[in-house]
Homo-oligomer: A and B are copies of this chain.
Amino acid sequence: MSKVRKQTWRFDHPIFLAATGTVVGPLESKGPLSGNFDKEYQHLNCGEKSWTEAERALMRRAIAFCLAKAGKSEGDIDLFLAGDLMDQTVTSNFLARENRIPFLGMFGACSSSMETLAAGAQLVDSGFADNVLCAVSSHNATAERQFRYPTEYGGPSKLTQTFTVTGAGATIVTKEPGKVRVKEATIGRVIDWGIDDASNLGTAMAPAAADTIWTHFQDTGRKPEDYDMVVTGDLSSVGSPILNELLLEKGLDITNVHQDCGTMIYTPDQPVNAGGSGCACSAVVTYGYLYNRLAEGSLKRVLVVATGALLNSATPKEKDTIPCIAHAVVLESAKEGQR
């Protein structure tokens, strides 16, 4: 049918982001995108007494900014779609307990940002909801503690390893005209090329990103030059060249337009090894920096490809390799003169 071509959803109605909310931690506040976020905490504890509470504060604050900027209250929202990296996505669950909005929990690891946005746009387009709130979060200390070691332990990290972004991003999807439009979404498949090193997720996720990007261009018939940017979520400096090489092998050259949120959010001299990662990485770059550029019209059309490594802390010990996924969303400027 017309609204679906293979893996790509085309939305029949004009679907917009009513507003966005973004909150980051101290290291992100010293990165090159500082000033694009609504709140930049100077301490990892974000004024809370535990890392768990700190991550909840990030998502709570991102949602509060988003609602306020959209001029909406929780009662105006029909559905809340959220996900995070905590076991059983507890950050999202506890925020859903606070806001009491009908809730669909989603899990796509760091791809949850675009998974929730794609699902939200689909629900609004099809008339099952008027306003959908989408949110994701990650916190460096909660993620390190859960997947590796508590940060206080001071364990060494490999150079291929990424640094989980501390932050949260939220947006409201609606048919009410806004500054940024959600045009299409490409839903990814799970790809596993046999990487078993949980300290090298950029390499593990690159084939999944390549699969989704390749499929997106096949489904839409577009070319890379039709986009101002093709932005991956958290492939980092290790995974990004692998992605570009995998696509070049298939005859698709995105090198002129490709950037990665994980390398955009930090400067090379920050102590993050291969770059940023986590649900918040693609979320705060998209809902902060990219949203601002699209809203003002200096970017016309962007493909955001959020990447996720679908392991847990036990699967590497059980000698499993790492299944990965990528979900892509096309965002366009609603300013006149867009493509």
Contact = CB atoms under 8 A, between A and B. Distances in A.
A185 B79 CA distance: 13
A96 B115 CA distance: 15
A88 interface: yes
B102 A83 contact: no
A297 interface: no
Interface string A1-23: 10110010100000000000000
Contacts of A129: 4
Copies in the complex: 2
Which of the listed residues A90, A107, A320 has the most CB atoms from chain B within 10 Å of its own CB? A107
A7 B314 CA distance: 37
B103 A325 contact: yes
A33 to B, nearest CB: 28
A83 B88 CA distance: 10
A52 B189 CA distance: 22
Given A93-B323, A100-B189, A188-B102, A107 B88 contact: yes
A34 interface: no
A187 B192 CA distance: 33
Given A104-B106, A107-B83, A109-B88, A128 B3 contact: yes
B1 A312 contact: no
Nearest to A109: B88
A146 to B, nearest CB: 8
Contacts of A79: 187
Contacts of A64: none
Nearest to A122: B128
A267 interface: no
Contact of A102 (B90, B128, B189): B189
A294 B78 CA distance: 31
Main SS of the interface on chain A? loop
Contact of A105 (B9, B87, B88, B115): B115
A114 to B, nearest CB: 11
A101 interface: yes
A278 interface: no
A320 B94 contact: yes
A87 B312 contact: yes
Contacts of A104: 106, 108, 115, 119, 187
Contacts of A103: 187-190, 325
Contacts of A270: none
Contacts of A96: 189-190, 310, 323, 325
A50 interface: yes
A89 interface: yes
